[in-house]
Amino acid sequence: MERSPFSQKEIPVLTEAIRIAEELIGDRFRISTSDWKRYRYDIQSLKDLRPEEITDSAFAQIRRYARQPHEKLLASKHGDYFKICLQDHVIRRALARDPHIRLLPLATYIVTHELIHVVRFARFLQSFDAPPRERNEEEIRVHHLTAEFLGPLRMQGMPEVLQAFQDCRNMETFISQSSQTDPADSR
Residue 183 belongs to some domain of the structure: no
Q: 64 - beta bridge partners?
A: 82
- pLDDT tens for residues 3-37? 999 999 999 999 999 999 999 999 999 998 888 88
Find the mean pLDDT for residues 146-154. 95
- What's residue 82's pLDDT? 93
Residue 86 lies in a domain: yes
Instruction: Pick 22 or 175 by higher pLDDT.
Output: 22
The pLDDT of residue 181: 34
Q: What is the DSSP letter of 129?
A: T
Q: Is residue 53 in some structural domain?
A: yes
Domain assignment present for residue 82? The answer is yes
Identity at 74, one-letter amino acid code: L
pLDDT (mean) for 58-66: 92
**5-9, 67-71, 109-113, 152-156: segment of lowest average pLDDT:** 67-71
Q: For 133-152, what is the mean pLDDT?
A: 92
Residues 3/54, Cβ–Cβ less than 8 Å: yes
Torsion of the alpha carbons at 187, 97, 46 and 186, rounded to the nearest 10: 10
Structural domain harbouring 112: 11-177
Residue 187 lies in a domain: no
- Within a domain: residue 184? no
Bridge-partner residues for 83, per DSSP?
Answer: 42, 63
Rounded distance, CA 135 to CA 126, Å? 9
Total tally of structural domains belonging to the chain:
1
Q: What is the spatial distance between Cα 43 and Cα 51, in angstroms, rounded to a whole number?
A: 16
CA distances from 104 to 22, 65, 76, 112, 158 (A): 14, 28, 38, 12, 9
In a domain, 186, yes or no: no
Residue (of 88, 57, 42, 65) closest to 187 by Cα position: 57
Quick one: pLDDT band at residue 170, thresholds 50, 70, 90? Answer: very low
Q: Residue 147 and residue 38: Cα distance in Å, rounded?
A: 25
Q: What's the pLDDT score for residue 69?
A: 54
Whether this model's pTM surpasses 0.75 = yes
- Name which of 2, 1, 3, 6 is nearest 110 in CA terms: 6
